[in-house]
């Protein structure tokens, strides 16, 4: 196939490029040339801004387009009406759902809506509803030639958010590790390489429809992740689980400061229990979490030193652990 990837040099995008090349496809990139511009010197890259148009692609046609970077519906509308392609894949997100109050949310669950569908909040507050509108535009414009993929938390090498990377790094450092709530906290993640390889296979098959794409296919818990981090790294880490009440009292923010954890708000009960049976039925597979952890640690070792974008600092962690011990004489350890 002749594949055009919108984006293609950051995290999932770069893994999509690699997956497509491994499977023998010709790849062209369209991006602004601002992120990792020297990453794929042997691949044709057309520079442009999707907000102003795709004139640089005029007169050309692709078998498939994979859109990794759409945020606003107008961006999708411009792409699907300007780019000549037989198939269009939109990488969306499970954040499109109106809420997560149900365990086992499938692809037909209601999505979030904006009161003003033409508005474009830039502060991230409407991320999910905007992505839902992007999906709507793609499906309406391309119909049976459209594929919508809704990943959950994407993890693995080159993750710029550190929302998973924090745990392998912190556990590998050893010592007492602060974790939220308890080992049974449900977790869903998908390795970017698994997502990329499956996406390319779906594009090859000219698959259509909408698919939730997170994992694994069997339940995973925070305890599983942390024990695997300890096993893979060979560290002496001990895990101390602090209660939600304690963490909130000490202004520890779920998800950003305690990655993989969203707390016990009933509206989030199904956040890490998304139904992915539809995607699994058409070939989505998941490598062992231990493999993702090991590869993440090897990649992290090549990065410049500096603070992580997610998690708490070692100093803040020490303060919290000391406060927990003062109020709980027998720490909850694993």
Q: What is the pLDDT of residues 231-280, one digit of tens each?
A: 999 999 999 999 999 999 999 999 999 999 999 999 999 999 999 999 99
Helix, strand, coil percentages, rounded to 5, for the chain = 35, 20, 45
Q: Give the pLDDT confidence score for residue 125 in this predicted structure.
A: 85
How many C-beta neighbours within 10 Å does residue 6 have?
25
Strands 64-67 and 88-91: parallel
Q: Are residues 125 and 68 in the same domain?
A: yes
Here the CATH number for the domain that contains residue 306 is 3.90.25
Q: Give the pLDDT confidence score for residue 122 in this predicted structure.
A: 77
Q: Are residues 93 and 236 in the same domain?
A: no
Please enumerate in sequence order all residues whose Cβ is within 8 A of that of 298, keeping only pairs 6 or more positions apart, or say none: 157
pLDDT tops 90 at residue 103: yes
Q: Are residues 33 and 84 in the same domain?
A: yes
Q: Is 2 exposed, middle or buried (0-12, 13-18, 19+ CB in 10 A)?
A: middle
For 96-134, letters b (16+ CB in 10 Å) and e give bbebbeeeebebebebbebeeeeeeeeeeebebbbbbbb
- Provide the percentage of residues in the chain whose pLDDT is more than 70: 98
pLDDT tops 90 at residue 319: yes
CA–CA separation, 147 and 33 (whole Å): 26
Q: Are residues 102 and 182 in the same domain?
A: no
DSSP string covering 265-278 = -GGGTTTT----HH
How many domains does the structure of the chain reveal?
2
Q: Give the pLDDT confidence score for residue 277 in this predicted structure.
A: 98
Question: Which of 100, 123, 151 marks a domain boundary?
Answer: 151
Please enumerate in sequence order all residues whose Cβ is within 8 A of that of 89, keeping only pairs 6 or more positions apart, or say none: 64, 65, 66, 67, 146, 147, 148, 149, 199, 202, 203
Residue 181 belongs to what domain range?
A: 166-188+217-272+289-327
Strands 186-187 and 220-221: antiparallel
Q: H or E stretch including 191?
A: strand 189-191
Candidates 78, 85, 73; CA nearest to 28 is: 85
299, part of any domain: yes
Question: What is the average per-residue pLDDT within 85-114?
Answer: 98
Q: Are residues 179 and 134 in the same domain?
A: no
Q: Are residues 98 and 127 in the same domain?
A: yes
How many C-beta neighbours within 10 Å does residue 277 have?
12
Q: Are residues 175 and 120 in the same domain?
A: no
DSSP string covering 5-38 = EES-SSTHHHHHHHHHHHTT-EEEEEE-S-SSTT
Find how far residue 13's CA is from the centre of its chain.
Answer: 11
DSSP string covering 153-165 = EEESTT-SS-TTT
Question: What is the average per-residue pLDDT within 158-171?
Answer: 98
User: 117: pLDDT confidence band, cut at 50, 70 and 90?
Assistant: confident
pLDDT in tens, 21-74: 999 999 999 999 999 999 999 999 999 999 999 999 999 999 999 999 999 999
Q: Give the pLDDT confidence score for residue 114 in this predicted structure.
A: 93
Q: Are residues 230 and 102 in the same domain?
A: no
Rg of the chain taking only CA atoms, in angstroms: 21
Question: Which of 122, 151, 180 marks a domain boundary?
Answer: 151
Question: Which of 125, 151, 177 marks a domain boundary?
Answer: 151
Q: Give the pLDDT confidence score for residue 67 in this predicted structure.
A: 98
Q: Are residues 111 and 253 in the same domain?
A: no
How many C-beta neighbours within 10 Å does residue 284 have?
26
pLDDT tops 90 at residue 124: no
pLDDT in tens, 274-299: 999 999 999 999 999 999 999 999 99
Here the CATH number for the domain that contains residue 38 is 3.40.50.720
Q: What is the mean pLDDT of the chain?
A: 96
Residue 122 gets which letter from DSSP? S
Q: Are residues 17 and 144 in the same domain?
A: yes
Q: Is 260 exposed, middle or buried (0-12, 13-18, 19+ CB in 10 A)?
A: buried
């Amino acid at each position: 196939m002749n594949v055009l990837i919108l984006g293609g040099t950051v995290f999932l995008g770069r893994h999509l490029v690699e997956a497509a090349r491994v499977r023998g496809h010709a790849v062209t990139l369209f991006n602004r040339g601002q992120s990792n511009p020297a990453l794929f010197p042997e691949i044709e890259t057309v520079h442009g801004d999707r907000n102003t148009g795709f004139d640089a692609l005029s007169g050309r046609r692709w078998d498939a387009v994979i859109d990794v970077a759409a945020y606003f519906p107008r961006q999708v509308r411009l792409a699907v009406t300007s780019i000549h392609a037989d198939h269009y894949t939109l990488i969306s997100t499970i954040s499109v759902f109106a809420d997560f109050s149900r365990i086992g949310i499938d692809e037909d669950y209601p999505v979030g809506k904006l009161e003003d569908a033409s508005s474009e909040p830039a502060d991230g507050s409407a991320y999910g509803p905007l992505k839902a509108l992007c999906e709507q535009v793609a499906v309406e414009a391309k119909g049976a030639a459209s594929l919508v993929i809704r990943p959950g938390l994407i993890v693995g090498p080159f993750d710029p958010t550190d929302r998973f990377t924090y745990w392998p790094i912190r556990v590998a450092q050893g010592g007492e590790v602060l974790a939220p709530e308890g080992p049974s906290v449900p977790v869903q993640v998908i390795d970017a390489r698994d997502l990329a390889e499956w996406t390319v296979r779906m594009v090859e098959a000219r698959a259509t429809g909408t698919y939730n794409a997170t994992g694994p296919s069997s339940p995973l818990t925070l305890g599983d992740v942390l024990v695997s981090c300890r096993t893979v790294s060979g560290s002496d880490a001990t895990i101390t689980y602090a209660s939600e009440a304690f963490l909130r009292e000490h202004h520890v923010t779920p998800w950003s400061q305690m990655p993989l954890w969203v707390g016990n708000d009933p509206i989030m009960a199904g956040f890490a229990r998304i139904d992915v049976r539809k995607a699994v039925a058409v070939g989505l597979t998941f490598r062992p979490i231990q493999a993702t952890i090991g590869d993440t640690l090897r990649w992290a070792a090549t990065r410049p030193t500096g603070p992580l974008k997610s998690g708490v600092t070692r100093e803040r962690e020490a303060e919290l652990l000391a406060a927990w011990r003062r109020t709980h004489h027998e720490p909850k350890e694993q």
